[in-house]
Copies of this chain bind each other. A is one copy, B any other.
Amino acid sequence: MRPYGRAHDALRDVVIETGVSPYAEGSCLIKCGNTHVLCTATVEENVPPWMRNSGKGWVTAEYGMLPRATHTRMRREASSGKQSGRTQEIQRLIGRSLRAVVDLKALGERQITLDCDVIQADGGTRTAAITGAWVALKLAINWLIEEGVLKSDPVYGQLAAVSCGVVGGTARLDLEYEEDSQAETDANFVLTVDGGIVEIQATAEDKPLPEADFAELFALARKGVAELGEIQKSVL
């Protein structure tokens, strides 16, 4: 049995509140059960030095966690003087995923930075961050269109992300922390709502995973992403 009697193929309760930041060009607070991530999109009218005069824009992301977002307090990365390998891996993943559905040429020479800050963590923070960041990105694009800066929408795909895993021999959708920490295999899927693959990261922690199990996880992820996509649509 899963915590709270959840079915093996059920998402946690998901709520996306938009417009939570008074300053950001796009923002939302995404809550997947007890995992809460604040996503803000910042539009800047310049690109990184290595992209100047390329005629293209850039979409990037940064990820952080408040020190007491977790059961026990984690050291503040600003205080320890560097971002952990895990943090860098996650923020690279978020940025790369979003870029896969944006026409950077159509965006023009400007940069959109997605800040994904975890307020509370209960498993699945990176996938919640991607799902929320896509919403914040769309809101920022809407703002650019309303302001007359952009004529058309450079975002050509809708994407969301979810984790799946094998826990106690069973495939489960959307692991929370207690499950995640015991999972034999942990996989994160970033998919478009129409079934395209943007990123798959599957990791067998304990022992290699049979291919059939992987297929089962993939099917769960497609179901989860379809549902997340409906929630995203409902708030835009």
Contact = CB atoms under 8 A, between A and B. Distances in A.
A149 to B, nearest CB: 17
Contacts of A117: 66
Interface in A65-97: 66-73, 76-79, 81-83, 85-89, 91-92, 96
A91 B209 CA distance: 21
Contact of A79 (B62, B72, B199, B204): B62
B197 A200 contact: no
Contacts of A156: 207
Given A66-B115, A76-B62, A211-B197, A89 B92 contact: yes
A71 B157 CA distance: 29
A76 B116 CA distance: 11
Number of copies: 6
Given A81-B81, A211-B195, A22 B42 contact: no
Interface string A136-170: 00000000000000000000110100000000000
B38 A64 contact: no
A64 B78 contact: yes
A181 interface: no
Q: Chain A contact residues (Cβ within 8 angstroms of B): what range?
A: 35 or more
A101 B209 CA distance: 11
A119 B115 CA distance: 12
Given A23-B71, A62-B79, 5 more contacts: A23-B70, A42-B67, A66-B115, A185-B197, A200-B201
Closest 9 CB pairs of A and B: A196-B208, A85-B88, A77-B78, A40-B68, A197-B209, A42-B73, A200-B202, A78-B78, A192-B208
Interface of A: 21-24, 27, 34, 38, 40, 42, 44, 62, 64, 66-73, 76-79, 81-83, 85-89, 91-92, 96, 100-101, 113, 115, 117, 119-120, 156-157, 159, 185, 191-192, 195-211, 214, 218
